[in-house]
Amino acid sequence: MRPLTPPARNPYWRFLLAGFRGQSAYPLATLAGLVANATFGVLKGSIMGAAVESSGGELAGYTAGSMAAFVWLGQGLLGSVNLWGGSDLQTRIKSGDVAVDFLRPVSVQASHVLTDVGKGLFGLLPRGLPSVLIGVAIGGMVLPSDPSAYALGLISLLLGIAVSHACIYAVGTSGFWLVESRGVAVFYLSFSGLFAGLYTPIYLFPDWLLTLALLTPFPSMMQLPVDVLSGQVTGVAAWQHLGVQALWLAIVLAVGHLSTRAGRRRLEVQGG
């Protein structure tokens, strides 16, 4: 049997770490992100709170407290998932720097996805945690009392971050054919927030729209982890959530892998 490689000598672990550390180089941008998150959180919280109140204290299974949890956990996740569609891969294909990625004896997909996941994990510290604290302090957010909600929630959260960045990678590979894939990113942006449950819980949608949303990977990025983390969904249903997320992770990773293999042959690195 091959001896296990210590983490420091494992390139993929180093990519994860590089993403995490690289992101910490921009404290001002992180702070600005938190302020924007909190501002929109207060707005969203008031609107959704009013909606719950006007429907008699309960709306699609949400109470005032659990709706606040939905709002603030979602805001907290914004710094860790990518709903806007752009990526390093996209810019590196356009500039030709992606050539450097292909000249390394590692998987280009794994190196990109892990770097982005590393950035996402860093985002939990300066943006995720403070959002939750703000939510508890001023938003009336209720934390789950069952410790298993935290354990499953953490797994669901990690899966959500992974699905998001693996999906963004797959979207970015369209650049192998298009070179300039900003249009694809804009298209992505126009669906991601709605179906991820950024604006309202997707359970408020009419049936047909909810079905449509559930046929995309977007709920796995935010709605499902927020369900599990907030304790809104527990037990078998929580495990089902994790299963759906794992399935989407496998699908978007497979798509990214195949499109890298096909797209690589189309790549025309621009310039010198």
The answer to whether residue 96 forms part of the interface with another protein (CB under 8 A) is yes
Return the closest-CA partner of residue 228 out of 242, 248, 207, 249. 242
Q: Is 271 in the site for another protein (CB under 8 A)?
A: yes
Binds another protein (CB under 8 A): choice among 1, 2, 9, 206 = 9
CA angle 80, 73, 219 (to 5 degrees): 70
Does 211 bind another protein (CB under 8 A)? Our answer is: no
CA distance 76 to 262: 36
How far apart CA 79 and CA 64 sit, in angstroms, is 24
CA–CA separation, 202 and 194 (whole Å) = 8
Under a CB-based contact definition with an 8 Å cutoff, are residues 89 and 113 in contact?
A: no
Which residue number, 207 or 268, has a Cβ lying nearer to another protein?
268
Residue from 53, 97, 146, 180 in contact with another protein (CB under 8 A): 97
Q: Which of 18, 42, 212, 246 binds another protein (CB under 8 A)?
A: 18
The phi and psi torsions of 59 (rounded to 5 degrees) equal -145, 115
| 27 binds another protein per the rule CB under 8 A | no
Smallest separation, CB 60 to another protein (Å): 42
- Amino acid, res. 110: A
- Is 102 an interacting residue with respect to another protein (CB under 8 A)? yes
Interaction between residue 236 and another protein (CB under 8 A): no
The smaller minimum CB distance to another protein, of residues 69 and 110, is found at: 110
Q: Which is nearer to another protein, 50 or 106 (CB)?
A: 106
- Report if residue 25 touches another protein, rule: CB under 8 A: yes
If you search the block for the tokens 């892990």, which residue do you land on? 114
- Taking CB under 8 A as the rule, does residue 11 contact another protein? yes
The least CB distance from residue 28 to another protein, in Å, is 14
Chain residues 251-270 in contact with another protein, contact rule CB under 8 A: 264-265, 267-269
Q: What tokens does 200 get?
A: 């309202």
Counts of helices then strands in the chain (DSSP H, E): 14, 0
Contact 84, 185 (CB under 8 A): yes
CB atoms under 10 Å from CB of 204, counted, come to 16
Q: Which is nearer to another protein, 109 or 245 (CB)?
A: 109
- What is the C-alpha to C-alpha distance for residues 171 and 188, in angstroms, rounded to an integer? 8
Contact in structure between 239 and 70 (CB atoms under 8 Å): no
Among positions 99, 178, 179, 210, the unique one binding another protein when judged by CB under 8 A:
99
Q: Judged by CB, which is closer to another protein: 21, or 154?
A: 21
Cross-strand bridge partners of residue 62: 59
Applying CB under 8 A, does 104 fall inside the site for another protein?
yes
Quick check: 28 binds another protein (CB under 8 A)? no
Q: Does residue 186 bind another protein (CB under 8 A)?
A: no
| Smaller CB separation from another protein, 100 or 129 | 100
The encoded tokens of residue 20 equal: 């995490």
Q: What is the binding site for another protein (CB under 8 A)? A: 8-11, 13-15, 18, 21-23, 25-26, 95-97, 99-100, 102-106, 264-265, 267-269, 271-272
